[in-house]
Structure 1
Protein backbone atom coordinates (compact mmCIF):
# COMPACT_ATOMS: atom_id res chain seq x y z
CA UNK A 1 0.00 0.00 0.00
CA UNK A 2 1.40 3.38 -1.00
CA UNK A 3 2.27 5.90 1.71
CA UNK A 4 1.36 9.48 0.83
CA UNK A 5 2.43 12.71 2.50
CA UNK A 6 0.15 15.72 2.94
CA UNK A 7 0.90 16.83 -0.62
CA UNK A 8 -0.26 13.50 -2.05
CA UNK A 9 3.29 12.45 -2.91
CA UNK A 10 4.38 8.84 -2.41
CA UNK A 11 7.10 8.52 0.26
CA UNK A 12 9.03 5.80 2.04
CA UNK A 13 7.86 4.22 5.29
CA UNK A 14 8.82 5.80 8.61
CA UNK A 15 11.70 4.14 10.45
CA UNK A 16 10.28 4.18 13.96
CA UNK A 17 12.65 4.84 16.83
CA UNK A 18 15.63 5.23 14.53
CA UNK A 19 18.86 6.54 16.06
CA UNK A 20 22.35 6.97 14.68
CA UNK A 21 24.24 3.70 14.98
CA UNK A 22 27.48 3.24 16.89
CA UNK A 23 30.76 3.19 15.04
CA UNK A 24 32.19 -0.36 14.79
CA UNK A 25 34.77 -1.08 17.46
CA UNK A 26 38.06 -2.93 17.25
CA UNK A 27 36.68 -6.08 18.84
CA UNK A 28 37.61 -9.79 18.75
CA UNK A 29 34.92 -11.97 17.13
CA UNK A 30 35.21 -15.68 17.93
CA UNK A 31 33.92 -18.71 16.02
CA UNK A 32 34.60 -22.44 16.02
CA UNK A 33 37.19 -22.34 13.24
CA UNK A 34 38.50 -18.81 13.31
CA UNK A 35 38.45 -15.51 15.09
CA UNK A 36 38.63 -11.97 13.80
CA UNK A 37 41.10 -9.66 15.51
CA UNK A 38 41.79 -5.96 14.94
CA UNK A 39 44.45 -5.90 12.22
CA UNK A 40 47.84 -5.13 13.77
CA UNK A 41 50.95 -4.20 11.81
CA UNK A 42 53.49 -6.05 13.93
CA UNK A 43 51.35 -9.00 15.04
CA UNK A 44 49.74 -9.93 11.72
CA UNK A 45 51.70 -8.14 8.99
CA UNK A 46 54.61 -10.56 8.46
CA UNK A 47 52.38 -13.67 8.52
CA UNK A 48 49.94 -12.16 6.05
CA UNK A 49 52.65 -10.95 3.69
CA UNK A 50 54.24 -14.40 3.63
CA UNK A 51 51.00 -16.32 3.11
CA UNK A 52 49.80 -13.89 0.43
CA UNK A 53 53.09 -14.44 -1.37
CA UNK A 54 52.11 -18.06 -2.01
CA UNK A 55 49.33 -16.86 -4.34
CA UNK A 56 51.53 -14.57 -6.40
CA UNK A 57 50.51 -11.30 -8.02
CA UNK A 58 47.17 -12.65 -9.30
CA UNK A 59 45.76 -12.30 -5.76
CA UNK A 60 45.74 -8.50 -6.21
CA UNK A 61 44.36 -8.20 -9.76
CA UNK A 62 40.91 -6.93 -8.74
CA UNK A 63 41.97 -4.96 -5.67
CA UNK A 64 42.87 -1.26 -5.72
CA UNK A 65 46.12 -2.02 -3.87
CA UNK A 66 49.01 -4.45 -4.28
CA UNK A 67 50.93 -6.43 -5.18
CA UNK A 68 53.47 -5.36 -2.58
CA UNK A 69 57.15 -5.58 -3.45
CA UNK A 70 58.33 -6.14 0.10
CA UNK A 71 57.18 -6.46 3.70
CA UNK A 72 57.67 -2.78 4.48
CA UNK A 73 55.27 -1.78 1.70
CA UNK A 74 52.62 -4.11 3.08
CA UNK A 75 53.15 -2.91 6.66
CA UNK A 76 52.71 0.67 5.48
CA UNK A 77 49.42 -0.35 3.85
CA UNK A 78 48.23 -1.76 7.20
CA UNK A 79 49.09 1.58 8.78
CA UNK A 80 47.01 3.37 6.15
CA UNK A 81 44.02 1.12 6.80
CA UNK A 82 44.18 1.74 10.54
CA UNK A 83 44.50 5.48 10.03
CA UNK A 84 41.60 5.79 7.58
CA UNK A 85 38.66 7.41 9.36
CA UNK A 86 35.80 5.23 8.07
CA UNK A 87 37.66 1.90 7.98
CA UNK A 88 37.89 -0.84 10.62
CA UNK A 89 40.22 -3.67 9.50
CA UNK A 90 40.31 -7.23 10.86
CA UNK A 91 42.76 -10.11 10.54
CA UNK A 92 41.32 -13.62 10.15
CA UNK A 93 43.04 -16.08 12.49
CA UNK A 94 42.93 -19.83 11.88
CA UNK A 95 42.03 -21.24 15.33
CA UNK A 96 43.88 -24.48 14.67
CA UNK A 97 47.18 -23.02 13.52
CA UNK A 98 46.81 -19.65 15.32
CA UNK A 99 48.10 -17.96 12.16
CA UNK A 100 46.73 -14.93 10.31
CA UNK A 101 45.41 -16.13 6.93
CA UNK A 102 43.41 -13.21 5.54
CA UNK A 103 41.72 -9.86 6.10
CA UNK A 104 38.29 -8.25 6.06
CA UNK A 105 37.49 -4.58 6.60
CA UNK A 106 34.40 -2.56 7.39
CA UNK A 107 34.52 0.51 5.13
CA UNK A 108 32.33 3.42 3.97
CA UNK A 109 30.68 3.48 7.40
CA UNK A 110 27.53 5.65 7.47
CA UNK A 111 26.32 5.76 11.07
CA UNK A 112 23.39 8.10 10.35
CA UNK A 113 21.83 5.71 7.83
CA UNK A 114 23.07 2.46 9.35
CA UNK A 115 24.94 1.38 6.23
CA UNK A 116 28.46 0.07 5.62
CA UNK A 117 30.46 -2.12 3.28
CA UNK A 118 32.77 -5.11 3.64
CA UNK A 119 35.94 -4.46 1.69
CA UNK A 120 39.61 -5.34 1.30
CA UNK A 121 38.59 -9.00 1.38
CA UNK A 122 41.96 -10.67 0.87
CA UNK A 123 42.00 -14.44 1.42
CA UNK A 124 45.28 -16.36 1.24
CA UNK A 125 45.41 -19.71 -0.62
CA UNK A 126 45.08 -21.63 2.66
CA UNK A 127 41.87 -19.73 3.46
CA UNK A 128 40.12 -19.79 0.09
CA UNK A 129 37.23 -22.26 -0.29
CA UNK A 130 37.33 -23.39 3.35
CA UNK A 131 34.85 -23.41 6.22
CA UNK A 132 36.98 -20.69 7.82
CA UNK A 133 36.32 -18.37 4.88
CA UNK A 134 32.56 -18.75 5.32
CA UNK A 135 32.66 -18.46 9.10
CA UNK A 136 34.77 -15.30 8.95
CA UNK A 137 32.19 -13.62 6.73
CA UNK A 138 29.38 -14.76 9.05
CA UNK A 139 31.11 -13.44 12.18
CA UNK A 140 31.46 -9.98 10.67
CA UNK A 141 27.87 -9.91 9.38
CA UNK A 142 26.60 -11.02 12.79
CA UNK A 143 28.51 -8.23 14.49
CA UNK A 144 27.11 -5.63 12.05
CA UNK A 145 23.45 -6.72 12.20
CA UNK A 146 23.03 -8.21 15.69
CA UNK A 147 25.41 -6.13 17.79
CA UNK A 148 25.49 -2.80 15.96
CA UNK A 149 21.95 -3.00 14.50
CA UNK A 150 22.88 -1.62 11.09
CA UNK A 151 20.28 -1.72 8.30
CA UNK A 152 22.44 -2.34 5.23
CA UNK A 153 25.60 -4.36 4.49
CA UNK A 154 27.23 -3.87 1.09
CA UNK A 155 29.58 -5.84 -1.14
CA UNK A 156 31.12 -4.38 -4.31
CA UNK A 157 33.49 -5.82 -6.88
CA UNK A 158 34.85 -5.42 -10.39
CA UNK A 159 32.23 -6.72 -12.81
CA UNK A 160 34.92 -8.96 -14.33
CA UNK A 161 35.73 -10.58 -10.98
CA UNK A 162 33.51 -13.65 -11.33
CA UNK A 163 34.68 -15.42 -8.15
CA UNK A 164 33.83 -12.37 -6.04
CA UNK A 165 30.37 -12.01 -7.58
CA UNK A 166 29.66 -15.72 -7.04
CA UNK A 167 30.88 -15.51 -3.46
CA UNK A 168 28.53 -12.60 -2.75
CA UNK A 169 25.54 -14.53 -4.06
CA UNK A 170 26.53 -17.66 -2.16
CA UNK A 171 26.73 -15.67 1.06
CA UNK A 172 23.20 -14.31 0.66
CA UNK A 173 23.80 -10.91 -0.93
CA UNK A 174 21.35 -9.67 -3.56
CA UNK A 175 22.63 -8.16 -6.79
CA UNK A 176 21.49 -4.56 -7.16
CA UNK A 177 23.03 -3.61 -10.47
CA UNK A 178 26.13 -2.38 -12.27
CA UNK A 179 27.71 1.06 -12.06
CA UNK A 180 29.39 1.60 -15.44
CA UNK A 181 32.84 3.16 -15.73
CA UNK A 182 32.70 4.24 -12.12
CA UNK A 183 36.38 3.71 -11.29
CA UNK A 184 39.80 3.89 -12.89
CA UNK A 185 42.31 1.78 -11.00
CA UNK A 186 45.71 0.36 -11.90
CA UNK A 187 45.32 2.16 -15.22
CA UNK A 188 42.17 0.20 -16.11
CA UNK A 189 38.49 1.06 -16.30
CA UNK A 190 36.12 -0.69 -13.96
CA UNK A 191 32.42 -1.37 -13.99
CA UNK A 192 31.34 -2.18 -10.43
CA UNK A 193 28.80 -4.77 -9.36
CA UNK A 194 26.76 -3.78 -6.29
CA UNK A 195 25.34 -6.32 -3.82
CA UNK A 196 23.69 -5.93 -0.42
CA UNK A 197 21.99 -7.60 2.52
CA UNK A 198 19.43 -5.56 4.48
CA UNK A 199 18.25 -6.09 8.03
CA UNK A 200 14.90 -7.71 7.22
CA UNK A 201 16.72 -10.39 5.20
CA UNK A 202 19.29 -11.09 7.89
CA UNK A 203 17.16 -13.35 10.11
CA UNK A 204 16.77 -16.00 7.39
CA UNK A 205 20.34 -15.61 6.18
CA UNK A 206 21.67 -16.04 9.73
CA UNK A 207 19.68 -19.26 10.16
CA UNK A 208 21.12 -20.63 6.92
CA UNK A 209 24.66 -19.79 8.02
CA UNK A 210 24.16 -21.32 11.46
CA UNK A 211 22.68 -24.53 10.08
CA UNK A 212 25.45 -24.89 7.49
CA UNK A 213 28.21 -24.24 10.00
CA UNK A 214 26.66 -26.51 12.65
CA UNK A 215 26.41 -29.39 10.18
CA UNK A 216 30.04 -29.05 9.18
CA UNK A 217 31.19 -28.63 12.76
CA UNK A 218 29.46 -31.89 13.65
CA UNK A 219 31.02 -33.62 10.64
CA UNK A 220 34.53 -32.42 11.55
CA UNK A 221 34.07 -33.29 15.24
CA UNK A 222 32.81 -36.79 14.46
CA UNK A 223 35.62 -37.40 11.98
CA UNK A 224 38.19 -36.34 14.53
CA UNK A 225 36.65 -38.57 17.17
CA UNK A 226 36.61 -41.51 14.79
CA UNK A 227 40.16 -40.93 13.59
CA UNK A 228 41.46 -40.13 17.04
CA UNK A 229 43.45 -37.15 15.80
CA UNK A 230 43.06 -33.59 14.56
CA UNK A 231 41.97 -33.21 10.98
CA UNK A 232 43.88 -30.61 9.01
CA UNK A 233 41.09 -30.11 6.49
CA UNK A 234 38.29 -27.75 7.43
Structure 2
Protein backbone atom coordinates (compact mmCIF):
# COMPACT_ATOMS: atom_id res chain seq x y z
CA UNK A 1 0.00 0.00 0.00
CA UNK A 2 1.31 3.44 -0.93
CA UNK A 3 1.99 6.11 1.69
CA UNK A 4 -0.55 8.89 2.37
CA UNK A 5 -0.10 11.85 0.03
CA UNK A 6 -1.00 14.59 2.48
CA UNK A 7 -2.61 16.21 -0.56
CA UNK A 8 -5.51 18.67 -0.59
CA UNK A 9 -8.07 19.18 -3.38
CA UNK A 10 -7.22 21.67 -6.09
CA UNK A 11 -8.92 25.02 -6.42
CA UNK A 12 -11.50 25.51 -9.15
CA UNK A 13 -10.35 27.92 -11.89
CA UNK A 14 -11.93 31.35 -11.95
CA UNK A 15 -11.94 33.78 -14.87
CA UNK A 16 -8.61 35.60 -14.89
CA UNK A 17 -6.36 37.49 -17.28
CA UNK A 18 -3.14 35.65 -18.11
CA UNK A 19 -0.48 37.64 -19.95
CA UNK A 20 2.58 36.39 -21.77
CA UNK A 21 5.07 37.86 -24.25
CA UNK A 22 2.93 37.23 -27.32
CA UNK A 23 -0.66 36.74 -26.16
CA UNK A 24 -3.10 37.56 -23.41
CA UNK A 25 -5.79 35.11 -22.29
CA UNK A 26 -9.06 36.55 -21.08
CA UNK A 27 -12.43 34.96 -20.39
CA UNK A 28 -14.34 34.62 -23.64
CA UNK A 29 -16.51 37.70 -24.15
CA UNK A 30 -18.77 37.51 -27.23
CA UNK A 31 -19.36 41.27 -27.30
CA UNK A 32 -15.62 41.87 -27.52
CA UNK A 33 -14.57 38.82 -29.51
CA UNK A 34 -17.29 37.91 -31.97
CA UNK A 35 -16.18 40.05 -34.92
CA UNK A 36 -12.55 38.97 -34.66
CA UNK A 37 -13.39 35.31 -34.20
CA UNK A 38 -15.87 35.27 -37.09
CA UNK A 39 -13.13 36.69 -39.30
CA UNK A 40 -10.38 34.29 -38.19
CA UNK A 41 -12.60 31.18 -38.09
CA UNK A 42 -14.88 31.76 -41.08
CA UNK A 43 -13.23 34.54 -43.11
CA UNK A 44 -11.31 34.19 -46.38
CA UNK A 45 -8.04 33.40 -44.58
CA UNK A 46 -9.55 30.80 -42.25
CA UNK A 47 -8.02 27.35 -41.82
CA UNK A 48 -10.58 25.04 -43.43
CA UNK A 49 -9.23 22.01 -41.57
CA UNK A 50 -9.91 23.63 -38.19
CA UNK A 51 -13.32 21.99 -37.80
CA UNK A 52 -12.46 18.50 -39.07
CA UNK A 53 -12.18 16.95 -35.61
CA UNK A 54 -14.27 19.32 -33.51
CA UNK A 55 -17.82 18.46 -32.49
CA UNK A 56 -19.14 21.71 -34.00
CA UNK A 57 -18.57 23.94 -37.00
CA UNK A 58 -17.96 25.10 -39.59
CA UNK A 59 -20.63 27.77 -39.38
CA UNK A 60 -22.28 29.01 -42.54
CA UNK A 61 -24.74 31.22 -40.65
CA UNK A 62 -23.60 34.04 -38.39
CA UNK A 63 -26.56 33.48 -36.05
CA UNK A 64 -25.41 29.90 -35.35
CA UNK A 65 -21.86 31.09 -34.75
CA UNK A 66 -22.96 33.79 -32.31
CA UNK A 67 -25.14 31.29 -30.43
CA UNK A 68 -22.15 28.94 -30.16
CA UNK A 69 -19.99 31.73 -28.71
CA UNK A 70 -22.71 32.78 -26.27
CA UNK A 71 -23.10 29.20 -25.05
CA UNK A 72 -19.36 28.84 -24.57
CA UNK A 73 -19.08 32.12 -22.70
CA UNK A 74 -21.84 31.09 -20.27
CA UNK A 75 -20.10 27.82 -19.37
CA UNK A 76 -17.89 27.29 -16.31
CA UNK A 77 -16.80 23.78 -17.37
CA UNK A 78 -15.50 24.13 -20.00
CA UNK A 79 -14.20 27.55 -18.95
CA UNK A 80 -13.37 29.30 -22.22
CA UNK A 81 -10.56 31.77 -22.77
CA UNK A 82 -9.97 34.05 -25.74
CA UNK A 83 -6.44 34.31 -27.10
CA UNK A 84 -5.62 37.95 -27.86
CA UNK A 85 -2.57 38.91 -29.92
CA UNK A 86 -0.63 41.50 -27.91
CA UNK A 87 0.86 43.01 -31.07
CA UNK A 88 -2.42 44.03 -32.69
CA UNK A 89 -5.16 43.39 -30.11
CA UNK A 90 -7.01 40.89 -32.32
CA UNK A 91 -8.70 37.87 -30.78
CA UNK A 92 -7.25 34.98 -32.80
CA UNK A 93 -8.41 31.83 -31.05
CA UNK A 94 -10.07 30.16 -28.10
CA UNK A 95 -9.29 27.28 -25.75
CA UNK A 96 -10.60 26.07 -22.43
CA UNK A 97 -9.99 24.42 -19.11
CA UNK A 98 -12.44 21.53 -18.87
CA UNK A 99 -13.22 18.19 -17.23
CA UNK A 100 -12.46 20.00 -13.99
CA UNK A 101 -12.32 17.61 -11.00
CA UNK A 102 -10.79 19.50 -8.06
CA UNK A 103 -11.34 16.65 -5.58
CA UNK A 104 -9.05 14.42 -7.64
CA UNK A 105 -6.74 17.16 -8.88
CA UNK A 106 -7.25 16.66 -12.58
CA UNK A 107 -8.09 19.11 -15.34
CA UNK A 108 -7.89 19.22 -19.14
CA UNK A 109 -6.96 21.74 -21.82
CA UNK A 110 -9.47 21.32 -24.63
CA UNK A 111 -11.79 22.88 -27.19
CA UNK A 112 -8.71 24.36 -28.84
CA UNK A 113 -9.48 26.43 -31.92
CA UNK A 114 -6.62 28.59 -33.14
CA UNK A 115 -7.01 30.73 -36.24
CA UNK A 116 -4.49 30.56 -39.06
CA UNK A 117 -2.72 33.66 -37.73
CA UNK A 118 -1.76 31.70 -34.60
CA UNK A 119 -0.55 28.55 -36.28
CA UNK A 120 3.19 27.93 -36.66
CA UNK A 121 3.86 30.90 -34.36
CA UNK A 122 4.76 31.07 -30.65
CA UNK A 123 1.28 32.33 -29.82
CA UNK A 124 -0.39 28.94 -29.63
CA UNK A 125 2.44 27.46 -27.59
CA UNK A 126 2.30 30.34 -25.15
CA UNK A 127 -1.47 30.01 -24.76
CA UNK A 128 -1.08 26.33 -23.80
CA UNK A 129 1.80 27.20 -21.44
CA UNK A 130 -0.24 29.89 -19.68
CA UNK A 131 -3.16 27.52 -19.05
CA UNK A 132 -0.82 24.73 -17.97
CA UNK A 133 0.87 27.08 -15.52
CA UNK A 134 -2.52 28.08 -14.11
CA UNK A 135 -3.70 24.47 -13.87
CA UNK A 136 -0.79 23.43 -11.69
CA UNK A 137 -0.82 26.65 -9.66
CA UNK A 138 -4.37 25.69 -8.66
CA UNK A 139 -3.00 22.50 -7.12
CA UNK A 140 -3.89 19.96 -9.79
CA UNK A 141 -1.92 16.72 -9.97
CA UNK A 142 -2.72 15.95 -13.59
CA UNK A 143 -3.25 17.98 -16.78
CA UNK A 144 -4.92 16.13 -19.64
CA UNK A 145 -5.05 16.50 -23.43
CA UNK A 146 -7.46 14.39 -25.47
CA UNK A 147 -8.14 14.31 -29.20
CA UNK A 148 -9.49 12.18 -32.00
CA UNK A 149 -6.92 9.49 -32.68
CA UNK A 150 -7.09 10.42 -36.38
CA UNK A 151 -6.11 14.01 -35.58
CA UNK A 152 -2.40 13.88 -36.38
CA UNK A 153 -1.92 17.62 -35.86
CA UNK A 154 -3.31 17.54 -32.32
CA UNK A 155 -1.30 14.46 -31.38
CA UNK A 156 1.92 16.04 -32.66
CA UNK A 157 1.14 19.20 -30.70
CA UNK A 158 0.54 17.26 -27.49
CA UNK A 159 3.90 15.53 -27.73
CA UNK A 160 5.62 18.77 -28.68
CA UNK A 161 4.21 20.46 -25.59
CA UNK A 162 5.54 17.72 -23.32
CA UNK A 163 2.43 15.58 -22.80
CA UNK A 164 2.92 11.83 -22.43
CA UNK A 165 0.81 9.54 -24.63
CA UNK A 166 -1.20 7.14 -22.47
CA UNK A 167 -3.26 5.15 -24.93
CA UNK A 168 -6.43 5.10 -27.02
CA UNK A 169 -10.02 4.73 -25.81
CA UNK A 170 -11.64 2.82 -28.67
CA UNK A 171 -15.16 3.80 -29.78
CA UNK A 172 -15.12 6.51 -27.13
CA UNK A 173 -17.55 8.90 -28.86
CA UNK A 174 -19.71 9.51 -31.91
CA UNK A 175 -18.89 12.95 -33.37
CA UNK A 176 -20.67 14.28 -36.45
CA UNK A 177 -22.05 10.78 -37.05
CA UNK A 178 -18.56 9.29 -37.14
CA UNK A 179 -16.73 7.04 -34.69
CA UNK A 180 -14.11 8.70 -32.52
CA UNK A 181 -11.32 6.72 -30.94
CA UNK A 182 -9.80 9.10 -28.40
CA UNK A 183 -6.06 9.47 -27.79
CA UNK A 184 -5.19 10.40 -24.20
CA UNK A 185 -2.15 12.42 -23.08
CA UNK A 186 -1.13 13.91 -19.73
CA UNK A 187 1.40 15.93 -17.79
CA UNK A 188 1.69 15.31 -14.04
CA UNK A 189 2.61 17.82 -11.36
CA UNK A 190 6.04 16.27 -10.81
CA UNK A 191 6.80 16.56 -14.53
CA UNK A 192 5.55 20.12 -14.93
CA UNK A 193 8.53 22.11 -13.52
CA UNK A 194 10.93 20.75 -16.16
CA UNK A 195 8.36 21.12 -18.93
CA UNK A 196 7.52 24.67 -17.82
CA UNK A 197 11.21 25.57 -17.84
CA UNK A 198 11.42 24.28 -21.41
CA UNK A 199 8.50 26.45 -22.47
CA UNK A 200 10.07 29.46 -20.77
CA UNK A 201 13.42 28.94 -22.48
CA UNK A 202 11.74 28.61 -25.84
CA UNK A 203 9.49 31.63 -25.38
CA UNK A 204 12.35 33.81 -24.06
CA UNK A 205 13.46 36.87 -25.98
CA UNK A 206 16.95 35.46 -26.56
CA UNK A 207 15.41 32.57 -28.50
CA UNK A 208 14.39 34.96 -31.26
CA UNK A 209 15.84 34.78 -34.74
CA UNK A 210 16.70 38.08 -36.44
CA UNK A 211 13.55 37.93 -38.59
CA UNK A 212 11.39 37.67 -35.47
CA UNK A 213 10.61 33.96 -35.57
CA UNK A 214 11.47 31.55 -32.78
CA UNK A 215 13.58 28.45 -33.05
CA UNK A 216 12.01 25.00 -32.98
CA UNK A 217 10.43 24.02 -29.68
CA UNK A 218 12.70 21.28 -28.38
CA UNK A 219 13.02 21.98 -24.69
CA UNK A 220 9.63 21.00 -23.35
CA UNK A 221 10.63 17.38 -22.67
Q: Structure 2-normalised TM-score?
A: 0.90
Asked whether the equivalents of residues 41 and 78 of structure 1 are also in contact (C-alpha less than 8 Å), the reply is yes
| Residues in 2 aligned to 1:149 and 1:20: alpha-carbon distance in whole angstroms | 7
Residue of structure 2 in register with 1:33 after alignment: 22
Residue of structure 2 in register with 1:94 after alignment: 85
Larger radius of gyration: 1
| Residues in 2 aligned to 1:56 and 1:177: alpha-carbon distance in whole angstroms | 28
| Residues in 2 aligned to 1:87 and 1:209: alpha-carbon distance in whole angstroms | 24
Query: How many Å apart are 1:188 and its aligned residue?
Result: 0.4
Q: Cα RMSD between the aligned structures?
A: 1.6
Query: How many Å apart are 1:85 and its aligned residue?
Result: 4.2
Tell me, yes or no, if structure 1 residue 165 matches structure 2 residue 149. Answer: no
Query: How many Å apart are 1:79 and its aligned residue?
Result: 1.8
| Residues in 2 aligned to 1:211 and 1:75: alpha-carbon distance in whole angstroms | 38
- 1:164 is paired with a residue whose SS is helix
| Residues in 1 aligned to 2:3 and 2:150: alpha-carbon distance in whole angstroms | 36
1:194 is aligned, of 164, 167, 184, to: 184
Deviation string, structure 1 residues 41-91 (Cα, Å, up to 9, x no partner): 110112011111222542101001111122221221122223334221000
Asked whether the equivalents of residues 47 and 116 of structure 2 are also in contact (C-alpha less than 8 Å), the reply is no
Structure 1 residues 97 and 71 mapped into 2: Cα distance closer, same or farther (>3 Å)? Answer: same
Which ranges of structure 2 fall in alignment gaps of 5 or more residues? 215-221
Tell me, yes or no, if structure 1 residue 113 matches structure 2 residue 99. Answer: no
Identify the structure with the greater helix proportion. Answer: 1
Q: Where in structure 1 do 4 or more consecutive aligned residues deviate above 6 Å? A: none
Query: How many Å apart are 1:95 and its aligned residue?
Result: 0.4
Deviation string, structure 1 residues 3-57 (Cα, Å, up to 9, x no partner): 3xxxxxxxx44221x2222210110000011110110111011201111122254
| Residues in 2 aligned to 1:72 and 1:128: alpha-carbon distance in whole angstroms | 26
- 2:36 is paired with a residue whose SS is helix
Tell me, yes or no, if structure 1 residue 181 matches structure 2 residue 166. Answer: no
Which ranges of structure 1 fall in alignment gaps of 5 or more residues? 4-11, 225-230
